[in-house]
Amino acid sequence: MTTLYNILIFPGFLFAALIGMLASYIDRKVTARIHWRKGPPLLQPVYDFVKLMGKEIIVPAETSALAFLSAPFFGLSAVTVVSVIVWKGLIQPQGSFVGDLIVVVYLLTIPSIACIIGGFASNNPLASLGASREMKLILSYEMPFLLSILVPVIKSESIRIGDIVSYQLVNGAVLHSYAGVLAFISGVLCVQAKLSIAPFDIPEAEQEIIAGPAIEYSGLPLGIFKLTKWMMLFVVPSFLVAIFMPAVTVWGNLLRYAAILVIIILIKNTNPRVRIDQAVRFFWTWVSAIALLAVILALVGL
């Protein structure tokens, strides 16, 4: 019963969906204010989602309807499980299982893989292009992301999120060391690519390939796709909160999450989109170098 409650309501699906919707509203509102516009009303993500529930679902001809329609649900379920594991680790650090950090890292790639499968199943050249760009983007950001996760692991000598959190609650946040700062910088850049928002929104570049993998989706599957994106906007930065700077209370964690969200929105609004080859080069040289330096510093003990 508790497991079901954890997965469906708190800190699983409903909690992540609501905060994700709020985060998407904040994103749109702050973007609008930066453009000197007014921006959408508070309930806009809810309206968007409810509207998509009532729309017709179109499946492209000559495609696998099963792969096309089930891909968004895989992403959604993966994000839900990540939310449960990360927030369980933040709220009661003793309750998590050994190796949940690795499970989270694997689960966080599933939404991207669902995006790829859905894109290739769309039977549309632009969707295939978006899916192949998404694949290249995964290859580019995954290595620096793993390297920057390695820093808290070295500091706390554990691969349990609960241990990492309780280590930081006792000894101070990882972010308070040189290695932690460098790992956090590369981690934020990787999160930017993981959420595929500007300057790394290459897979769904609206002006060139329209919406990338989501181009053929309509109705409920599109709603699930959007919901997954909103939940990712909440879950991935809160994973950074857990491994770099956890707080004792839920409100403290949410405040720190909001701080990371503001950083992400500011990066989004001040940078133009890069090409995929530029992104791969950037991640494999600069970001990897920063993350590697952070790992070396962490091994030295700084």
Residues in contact with another protein by the rule CB under 8 A: 28, 32, 35-41, 43-44, 46-48, 50-51, 53-58, 206-207, 210-211, 214-219, 222
Query: Please, what is the angle between helix 13-34 and helix 65-91, to 10°?
Result: 90
| CA dist., res. 101 & res. 105, Å (int) | 6
Query: Which DSSP string corresponds to 111-172?
Result: HHHHHHHHHHHTT-HHHHHHHHHHHHHHHHHHHHHHHHHHHHHHHHT-S-HHHHHHHHHHH-
Cα 29 to chain centroid, rounded: 20
Closer of 12 and 221 to another protein (Cβ): 221
Taking the complex as a whole, the smallest distance from the CB of residue 55 to another protein amounts, in Å, to 5
Closer of 217 and 283 to another protein (Cβ): 217
Taking the complex as a whole, the smallest distance from the CB of residue 37 to another protein amounts, in Å, to 4
Closer of 31 and 109 to another protein (Cβ): 31
Taking the complex as a whole, the smallest distance from the CB of residue 264 to another protein amounts, in Å, to 20
| CA dist., res. 31 & res. 39, Å (int) | 8
Taking the complex as a whole, the smallest distance from the CB of residue 209 to another protein amounts, in Å, to 9
Closer of 2 and 38 to another protein (Cβ): 38
Closer of 54 and 301 to another protein (Cβ): 54
Taking the complex as a whole, the smallest distance from the CB of residue 52 to another protein amounts, in Å, to 9
Q: What is the DSSP letter of 272?
A: P
Closer of 45 and 180 to another protein (Cβ): 45
Taking the complex as a whole, the smallest distance from the CB of residue 194 to another protein amounts, in Å, to 23
Residue 270 CB-density burial (10 A; 0-12 exposed, 13-18 middle, 19+ buried): exposed
Taking the complex as a whole, the smallest distance from the CB of residue 141 to another protein amounts, in Å, to 25
Residue type at 51?
K
Closer of 32 and 299 to another protein (Cβ): 32
CB environment 211-238: b (16+ within 10 A), e (fewer): bbbbbbbeebbbbbbbbbbbbbbbbbbb
Taking the complex as a whole, the smallest distance from the CB of residue 298 to another protein amounts, in Å, to 43
Cα–Cα distances (Å) from 28 to 76, 84, 111, 234, 247, in that order, read 22, 26, 22, 14, 27
Closer of 8 and 53 to another protein (Cβ): 53
Q: Of 163, 182, 189, whose CA–CA distance to 298 is shortest? A: 182
